[in-house]
Amino acid sequence: MKLLKEFTKGDGSHWGLSDWYKEAEKELVETISAQEPFDTDWYSSKKEIASARIWSTDGKTINVAVSVTDDFDTIGKAERVTDWSIEKIRWALEDAWQEAERDREANEEYVGFKLVKHSNESSSWIETYLVNIGWGESLSPSGDYYHWWGWQHDENEKGEGIPYPKIPIDAVPLFEKWALAWTWGQAKEKSLRIGDWEMIPFRDKQPDKPEDPSDYVGMGWIGADGRP
């Protein structure tokens, strides 16, 4: 199987996963024309937190795989099989990318909220609030960017998350209560605004309720629907 070496020289694409660099695209087009088994191996995108792989083991059909992640090291993956065509490869990559993002969201063990301060015609992201939806109360967020649940402001740089001091003190518990209610499907509003401050979820819809680890019977897990 031929390894496409241009894809191994750093990032394989620029803006997306099929915006290949000139020499990498040329090598891929030539390989497609020859219709021989090949592999790009995993290549990354310079502008996106995503990577992809394109390969064929038989010289007839092409496989594409996409992997995405986020600031919390939450992985999402998807694969597609497509025809022997550059355009079909582009479409397959885009489709797999969308599914990988859905898979990543389903794997998230947190729900994030941004707290925005509105001023005149502009707004600024001032604070972040995180709700743990994984198993275990003592777990801390994964990744290198956040180190505790709840408010992320570190007033004394001692690893203690407290609300940003300029948030009206009477609004703080209201935002906290709403964030929990939204997370568990008890609030339908898309955001909560109090004065110039507005809390907005990172995601568009509430997460699915996680399986309860106490639902264990015999040698298998029993899900919320009553099935193993």
CATH number at residue 29: 3.30.160.40
Residues 13 and 97 in one domain: yes
pTM, rounded to two decimals: 0.73
Residues 129 and 84 in one domain: no
Q: Determine the structural domain holding residue 73 and report its residue range.
A: 2-107
Render pLDDT for 116-127 as a digit per residue (tens, 0 to 9). 999 887 889 999
Total domains in the fold of the chain: 2
Residues 47 and 85 in one domain: yes
Residues 151 and 81 in one domain: no
- C-alpha distances in Å from residue 57, one per residue of 2, 73, 111, 180, 216: 10, 31, 40, 49, 42
Residues 116 and 142 in one domain: yes
Residue 6 is given by DSSP the state: G
Residues 119 and 169 in one domain: yes
Q: Look at residue 214 in the predicted model and tell me its pLDDT.
A: 53
Residues 71 and 135 in one domain: no
Residues 6 and 52 in one domain: yes
Counting as low any pLDDT under 50, the low residues of the chain are 216-219, 221-222, 225-228
CA dist 100 and 21 (Å) reads: 23
Residue 162 is given by DSSP the state: E
CA dist 24 and 7 (Å) reads: 6
Q: How many CA atoms lie within 13 A of 198 on its CB side?
A: 16
Residue 217 lies in a domain: no
Q: Look at residue 38 in the predicted model and tell me its pLDDT.
A: 96
**Average pLDDT taken over every residue of the chain:** 87
Q: Look at residue 10 in the predicted model and tell me its pLDDT.
A: 85
Given a contact cutoff of 8 angstroms between Cβ atoms, the answer to whether 207 and 130 are in contact is: no
> Which residue among 82, 107, 132 closes a domain?
107
Q: Look at residue 137 in the predicted model and tell me its pLDDT.
A: 61
CA dist 130 and 139 (Å) reads: 12
Q: Look at residue 210 in the predicted model and tell me its pLDDT.
A: 55
